[in-house]
Structure 1
């Protein structure tokens, strides 16, 4: 069973575990897994601001890096309840999803350099997803599961990416291709999504999957997430995080809002790509130079770069859901202002 933490009554931990959560009946109750992460932290914040009661999981309730920023959100004392849960432990999420109308499943390892892809990425992603869905199957109150997937489970296949190509929700990553190019994170997300769709089809669970690209924007958690760390490394060292310097940018706040829209819009169905703009890294560098003239960014090599987009990702379905994508200029500005405030950059 998950271990619960109520901010205002921590001494009631034992009773909360066995409670039927009558104190949650005043508002809509939802669950967020992996709540301390980059996207999930924003989702918890926006859900609380919208009046939801949130039951959220973290890996370690005793780690202030996992819980302190969540506890500081407006409404957290009244409507945020934290649990400790293990993706690989059967039944670990039973008490968390109990009484919820929606489960936002975000928890999944994001690691760039791995020594054992199976244990570090694939097992937690696939088995963790199935574990959560099995818990959801037991709860009649759940109306929908919204799962955070990735463009990594959409665009990694044998289709050539050319300027005239438009990636959309009909695309699927190929596990064999992921293995060939040793994209283990993409493989984990691809297999997890495939397992999820198979399970919900067999068990009549309403599932919507969201596929964000390279998420940037302000950080709420105290630690650097992988995408913001990669952006920081590019600016400071000129090192590319992705091959070819092509990034499918999306603002983290847009991704969080899309999760809520995917639950609240009863007509939401299937998969949704979430990419605001596909751009080369030199384009991001140019934008940052224009906003922060004193920022030391890599030399502008625009004259040696293509003048056309590498390819496109369709926004049509996401916009029909109600997603309004934040301009890349705004996302970059807000990201780097946070990095400056944390003394990770000087300009």
Structure 2
């Protein structure tokens, strides 16, 4: 039988909880006494995505919108979307030396020209844009994090789902 959560607990949903960054977030939150964690993980029985396949684009956008809709229905206060630097930096028209900000987006056509990586670049760009459009329509508080490179030790040596 599980122990009941502390009286002042906050519930946090971490999507992709088995991933590198999210697993560290889960570990940090679990080290605190006042968080109850709900995590989502991918189906380990399915193949990982193929960078050549455009299906990845629809999956990223649909998955992001599904999480936002569920969060909105559950009256979640804030959603933090972990995206990628590829959603903002791949734009040849962005002024040289100008820092990337909320107004910078990767150019969709430029993403498509980079044939090897374009599904990933485009999926991150479109998913983040959709997230902000959804936030504008619903009034949700959405924050994005766009890391360029994540590396370091694994939070857990093995995963059991």
Which of the numbers 130, 146, 149 marks the counterpart of 2:83?
149
Determine helix, strand or coil for the equivalent of 1:58.
Answer: coil
Query: Normalising by the residue count of structure 2, what TM-score does the alignment of the two structures yield?
Result: 0.82
**Which structure dedicates a bigger proportion of its chain to helix?**
1
Match of residue 34 from structure 1: 16
C-alpha distance in structure 2 between counterparts of 1:143 and 1:160, whole Å: 33
Q: Report if aligned partners of 1:130, 1:195 keep a CA contact under 8 Å in 2.
A: yes
Determine helix, strand or coil for the equivalent of 1:145.
Answer: strand
Match of residue 184 from structure 1: 119
1:197 paired to 2:132: yes
C-alpha distance in structure 2 between counterparts of 1:123 and 1:221, whole Å: 30
1:56 paired to 2:39: yes
State the 4+ residue runs in structure 1 displaced beyond 4 angstroms: none
Which residues of structure 2 form unaligned runs of 5+?
A: none
Match of residue 129 from structure 1: 64
User: Aligned pair in 2 of structure 1 residues 160, 200: CA closer, same or farther (>3 Å)?
Assistant: closer
Tell me how far 1:114 sits from its aligned partner: 2.4
**Larger RCO: 1 or 2 (CA < 8 Å, sep 6+):** 2
Match of residue 241 from structure 1: none
C-alpha distance in structure 2 between counterparts of 1:152 and 1:38, whole Å: 18
Q: What is the total number of aligned residue pairs between the two structures?
A: 151
Match runs of 1:55-134 below 5 Å: 55-60=38-43, 114-117=51-54, 119=55, 121-134=56-69
Query: Normalising by the residue count of structure 1, what TM-score does the alignment of the two structures yield?
Result: 0.40
Match of residue 153 from structure 2: 218
Could you report, residue by residue, the CA deviation over 1:191-220 in whole angstroms, capped at 9, with x for unpaired residues?
Answer: 000111111111111111111111111112
**Root-mean-square deviation (CA), in Å?**
2.6
Q: Is the radius of gyration larger for structure 1 or structure 2?
A: 1
Which residues of structure 1 form unaligned runs of 5+?
A: 1-7, 10-22, 64-109, 224-347
Match of residue 209 from structure 1: 144
